[in-house]
Structure 1
């Protein structure tokens, strides 16, 4: 038997289903891999060996069956897990063990998927490099001196380092797709409302979207099918059937894109992408043309305002959502010596518990929502959001999907952008418009630049998640998958 950690989720599921390997063997192989390499990668904040093996034993006893039964998974630490530490990579929640599971975690458990542990991230999902974790950065398995993307760098790095075959991420402005791009893995943001936000520690409620991460498009689609679907506990959940994303991925893998129209966004042409990124993207685009796709240039004139609009809407919503972390009900409590007022305790707790990027966004959002500025900032940003949505709708009248690089650059060295927040924010230049619109998008590896992975982004209309999987699988069939240097 080959190294179990190198197999795809689909391959592992098949072997477990045919009883050629046990779920316990698969879970143990991945737990041993974590023990062997995670000291260098730091993808995990908490490993639940006991819980993962117990879940695997249940599958081996025949108590749970399903398409991914017995396939282990890593979960981003912004998703609540009952009895397992959930910190959102923040000191303010250090040691917190939730009394309940998020809906997507319930679905993972019901599907018989052993949860290996919780992955590192930028604090409260605010960042593009996982450098803002209160527990130290995650290293990119392609080059341990470079970032793995953010905010879900831990989930992407765990995949690239073969510590997990599948992972859960969340995407508010690109936090699944951008880490996927720079680690050579696949990351999908479903349609907003297509996956439940119940049990997700909120950053920006109108943007946050949990989604699947994998090393292949088919694996990512299989996980998407497990976690998606209506949840009455989430008021933003869409009460409609999930598109058959698995069938779409398998159709795309045949390599036939005859009649599919790909929209090339004119406004992204002068984006300042690194030459190597542009070259890899263009080469991949030509491979899709050879598979039968047609490329159509489309104009989305308001996309250039997506970045500033996002950085008013998201911080405004985070200012509101993070008000609950006050040192009164749960989590960190600082300065409570009996001589300080409640307001002083709250101030000290938030000062000590929040990191610099979270504080920056809370201050920005609070200002944008303040009396006299609400209409000028938050209100205007929401109007821009409407214009961006109309751009998408007009574009999808001409084409089936839109395509672009996922990020303008490959993984950058640690510390090279932390002193300039704007340069950090540019990492999400191509990903943010989709979040403002609410549609699905996926990043799939398309090549290398300077020996580092480049991501190809495919954006689809709302509720047409299957379209992006078809094109992504076709691209994967043409370019293959990419393996980082051995750790």
Structure 2
């Protein structure tokens, strides 16, 4: 039974359609795997066993009746940022204690409409603010990977660390995640999984707890490139409830997997060769270039001159939007309420107790840069820099580049507590934030192991709505590198 959890999403989908396995069997196998793994990994913050079995039973009936959806019976995990009707949705923050929304996010509604089964809610950095999944009010998530010969725990990356860890540990076939500055691609790279941050507007943001509204985007984390393409096809849609969602047909992303990449022009940005890049990551990048060249792609050097300003500009724009979005959490209508002498006292007590240190830090930064005396000096300037960053990419694509290859992270996973300086933690997103600032798609693919046996990923950056090209290129890297899984210790 436990071997069912080793199936890829595509294999499980096909086995379910062929009636070789039942949705109930597959769901029970994953619930058993969660029961074994979660006490050690802490990836799930809520397991919805009864709901999962009921959904699986309904799937089996549809499979028997010939009315199966394209994800019928496939068990998935859901990041705690997505509203799930009547089910724990807390953004892993104390301030949303006890919140069970009376509505469903558009992305998860799309998945359930296609027949997917919900196993539970996955941990994350509080309000998606973090790069190591250490800021969750439920405590840190543990990476299923360990260095060879070591019992030391490692972080899974963030903010979607629970999603990445759950997928890597075979406790779900895929997971929803979100990416504001790298929160899908960075944890995917640190856990040996595949993570797609789609073009801004490709997936609806409705029903996803907001962090920075002009940067947030939902996407999938899976174990293979094909699985990722299958999941994104169901997650993506236009939505009248989200005016930033794009009214454009959703392609059959799976059809792009295995497509020839011959003749595609791949840009290599000079500005991504930064100080502090681990030699093994640099070597892997060169290996990735060689693999794409062997597959028939043309490699060209490109310039993205404003890259060095991306991280500081991001850490002005994102906290500013967070300061505005998080103002709604006041203890009045839902979530945590800490009494006070009057309403202002209650607001202050609730927010002081409800938000963690990193969230408070970003709210304070955001409030400061939006204040009357500093708005022009910081926020307005950061938005101008953002336009220049986007223009850099536009010029590269106008010059005929089809996609860009870069590292996903500066190094492999590290131990919890190893990075305590906030700025050092922010620097972990150095290769990912530019993609969000420009609204582009980015795909992280496992590409190798370092000297300690830990996974490293490469990142492919595409033209707006160029996800199909990224999946074609990602498949080339996956086939050349092979697939990796952690040695089971939990």
* TM-score after normalising by structure 1: 0.97
Find the counterpart in structure 2 of residue 23 from structure 1: 23
Distance (whole Å) between structure 2 residues aligned to residue 7 and residue 301 of structure 1: 43
2:330 aligned with 1:326? yes
Match for residue 168 of structure 1 among 167, 176, 179: 176
Determine if contact 2:203/2:245 at 8 Å carries over to the other structure: yes
Distance (whole Å) between structure 1 residues aligned to residue 373 and residue 92 of structure 2: 34
5+ residue gaps, structure 1: none
Match for residue 404 of structure 1 among 392, 402, 406: 406
2:199 aligned with 1:191? yes
- Most deviating of 19-28 and 235-244: 235-244
Distance (whole Å) between structure 2 residues aligned to residue 20 and residue 69 of structure 1: 14
Distance (whole Å) between structure 1 residues aligned to residue 317 and residue 373 of structure 2: 16
| Displacement of 1:67 | 2.3
Find the counterpart in structure 1 of residue 149 from structure 2: none
Distance (whole Å) between structure 2 residues aligned to residue 357 and residue 149 of structure 1: 15
Find the counterpart in structure 2 of residue 434 from structure 1: 435
Determine if contact 1:187/1:213 at 8 Å carries over to the other structure: yes
Tell me the secondary structure at the aligned position of residue 398 of structure 2.
Answer: coil
| Displacement of 1:66 | 2.2
| Displacement of 1:483 | 1.0
Find the counterpart in structure 1 of residue 60 from structure 2: 60
Distance (whole Å) between structure 2 residues aligned to residue 262 and residue 274 of structure 1: 22
Structure 1 runs of 4+ with >4 Å offset: none
Distance (whole Å) between structure 1 residues aligned to residue 459 and residue 137 of structure 2: 30
2:117 aligned with 1:109? no
- Most deviating of 423-432 and 139-148: 139-148
2:271 aligned with 1:270? no
Tell me the secondary structure at the aligned position of residue 446 of structure 1.
Answer: strand
Distance (whole Å) between structure 1 residues aligned to residue 320 and residue 177 of structure 2: 22
Find the counterpart in structure 1 of residue 77 from structure 2: 74
Determine if contact 1:203/1:321 at 8 Å carries over to the other structure: yes
| Displacement of 1:271 | 4.0
Distance (whole Å) between structure 1 residues aligned to residue 144 and residue 275 of structure 2: 27
| Displacement of 1:105 | 1.1
Q: How does 1:216-365 map to 2 (within 5 A)?
A: 216-251=224-259, 256-336=260-340, 340-365=341-366
Distance (whole Å) between structure 2 residues aligned to residue 55 and residue 279 of structure 1: 46
Distance (whole Å) between structure 1 residues aligned to residue 252 and residue 436 of structure 2: 22
Distance (whole Å) between structure 1 residues aligned to residue 237 and residue 358 of structure 2: 33
Distance (whole Å) between structure 2 residues aligned to residue 484 and residue 32 of structure 1: 18
| Displacement of 1:250 | 3.4
Give the number of aligned pairs: 479
Distance (whole Å) between structure 2 residues aligned to residue 484 and residue 448 of structure 1: 11
Find the counterpart in structure 2 of residue 131 from structure 1: 134
| Displacement of 1:335 | 2.3
Tell me the secondary structure at the aligned position of residue 417 of structure 2.
Answer: coil
| Displacement of 1:272 | 2.1
Determine if contact 2:2/2:33 at 8 Å carries over to the other structure: no
Determine if contact 1:243/1:465 at 8 Å carries over to the other structure: no
2:10 aligned with 1:7? no
Deviations 1:428-487 (A, max 9, x none): 100000000001010000001121111110000111111111100111111111111113
| Displacement of 1:257 | 2.3
Determine if contact 2:2/2:29 at 8 Å carries over to the other structure: no
2:215 aligned with 1:207? yes
Deviations 1:182-233 (A, max 9, x none): 0000000011000000000000000000001100000000000001011111
Deviations 1:77-132 (A, max 9, x none): 01100011001000011221111000011111101100000000000000000000
Distance (whole Å) between structure 2 residues aligned to residue 40 and residue 281 of structure 1: 33
Distance (whole Å) between structure 1 residues aligned to residue 3 and residue 352 of structure 2: 47
Find the counterpart in structure 1 of residue 473 from structure 2: 471
Deviations 1:371-426 (A, max 9, x none): 01101100000000000010000111231101101000100111011x20011011
Q: How does 1:369-384 map to 2 (within 5 A)?
A: 369-384=370-385
The alignment yields a C-alpha RMSD, in angstroms, of 1.1
Distance (whole Å) between structure 1 residues aligned to residue 108 and residue 478 of structure 2: 28
Find the counterpart in structure 2 of residue 451 from structure 1: 453
- Most deviating of 461-470 and 240-249: 240-249
Change (3 A) 1:248 1:271: farther
Determine if contact 1:271/1:408 at 8 Å carries over to the other structure: no
Tell me the secondary structure at the aligned position of residue 416 of structure 1.
Answer: coil
